[in-house]
């Protein structure tokens, strides 16, 4: 606009134009301030809301709070563009198309992200627990939004994408405080079954790690090809499981030997006709 030509607008028009621009800038500034305040408010409120829930991990809480904050930023930016006369409908369509393209390009990464959020919200396992997942076993060391890290008993680090973790069966060996220990012993057909049962019961009763409630089960499970099979089922604390398992195997074997109870080797009788 040429303010010095003969056709220049009058001072009233210039003042009105300046007031219009000033009001537009003032309105945009007000929208910006409100947007910044609202973004911080939403983030703080979401943080407090998630902090009340024990099921939501801190990592997920921070991630969701950040999403809420940036969503307000995007809405504020679109509103500011509208203040200056920019057609926001087409802009929203372009952003939607771009988001769809990015989503298709990163669908593997996004699926890991979604699975990570589900793992951190529903907590099928926690850091420090021993689990079997995706054909791998180990102690969980870290759970992030994209991957889960485990260490095997021989100290090998395993990193599994969260999509593979969430999409497979998960066995958590430390989820409960107690576990049932199952063992199977085979004795000879010529041995006294009741004597063998009493020996096992005595060993269980002398070990404080064996629970008396539920009561241990010691019974004949079946008659094998070369042995009478005795099943042992006893409850214990999850932390005592392996130590108790190894102790019972050693002690019961020693008591069998001391009381002439044999554990037979598999054998096969071959008859050969006269030539």
Structural domain spans, the chain? 11-105, 125-172, 178-258
Residue 135: predicted pLDDT: 85
Ramachandran region, residue 65 (left: φ > 0; alpha: ψ -120 to 50; beta: rest):
alpha
DSSP secondary structure letter of residue 254: H
Residue 58: predicted pLDDT: 66
Residue 206: predicted pLDDT: 94
Residue 7: predicted pLDDT: 55
Query: Was domain 125-172 assigned CATH 2.30.30.60?
Result: yes
Residue 251, pLDDT > 70, answer yes
Residue 273, pLDDT > 70, answer no
Mention every residue, 6+ apart, whose C-beta is less than 8 A from residue 47: 61, 62, 65
Band of pLDDT at residue 253, cut at 50, 70 and 90: very high
Residue 86, pLDDT > 80, answer no
| Residue 274 CB-density burial (10 A; 0-12 exposed, 13-18 middle, 19+ buried) | exposed
Equal fold, 11-105 vs 125-172: no
Residue 233, pLDDT > 90, answer yes
Residue 103, pLDDT > 60, answer no
Torsion of CA 107, 111, 113, 117, to 10 degrees: 150
Residue 17: predicted pLDDT: 65
Query: Was domain 11-105 assigned CATH 1.10.287.1260?
Result: yes
Residue 162: predicted pLDDT: 87
CATH of domain 178-258: 3.30.70.100
Residue 240, pLDDT > 90, answer yes
Band of pLDDT at residue 97, cut at 50, 70 and 90: low
What tokens appear for 72 in the block?
A: 């307000």
* DSSP run (H or E) holding 102: helix 88-105
Residue 40: predicted pLDDT: 81
Residue 225: predicted pLDDT: 84
Is 150 or 30 the better-scoring residue by pLDDT? 150
Least confident stretch, 62-66, 82-86, 176-180, 258-262: 82-86
Residue 1, pLDDT > 60, answer no
């Amino acid at each position: 606009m040429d303010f010095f030509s003969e056709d220049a607008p009058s001072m009233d028009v210039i003042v009105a134009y300046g007031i219009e621009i000033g009001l537009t800038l003032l309105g945009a500034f007000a929208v910006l301030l409100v947007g910044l305040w609202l973004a911080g408010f939403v983030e703080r409120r979401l943080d407090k809301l998630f902090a009340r829930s024990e099921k939501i991990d801190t990592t997920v809480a921070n991630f969701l709070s950040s999403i809420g904050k940036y969503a307000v930023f995007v809405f504020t930016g679109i509103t500011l563009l509208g203040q200056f006369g920019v057609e926001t409908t087409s802009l929203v369509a372009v952003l939607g198309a771009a988001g769809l393209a990015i989503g298709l390009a990163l669908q593997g990464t996004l699926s890991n992200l979604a699975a990570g959020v589900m793992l951190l919200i529903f907590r099928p396992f926690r850091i420090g627990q021993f689990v079997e997942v995706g054909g791998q076993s180990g102690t969980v060391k870290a759970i992030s939004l994209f991957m889960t890290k485990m260490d095997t008993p021989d100290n090998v680090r395993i990193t599994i994408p969260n999509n593979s973790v969430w999409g497979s069966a998960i066995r958590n060996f430390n989820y409960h405080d107690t576990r049932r220990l199952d063992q199977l012993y085979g004795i000879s057909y010529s041995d006294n079954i009741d004597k063998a049962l009493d020996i096992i019961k005595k060993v269980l009763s002398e070990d404080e790690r064996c629970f008396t409630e539920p009561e241990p089960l010691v019974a004949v499970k079946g008659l094998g090809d070369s042995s009478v099979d005795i099943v042992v089922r006893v409850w214990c604390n999850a932390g005592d499981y392996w130590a108790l398992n190894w102790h019972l195997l050693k002690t019961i074997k020693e008591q069998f030997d001391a009381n002439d109870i044999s554990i037979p080797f598999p054998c096969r009788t071959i008859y050969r006709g006269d030539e």
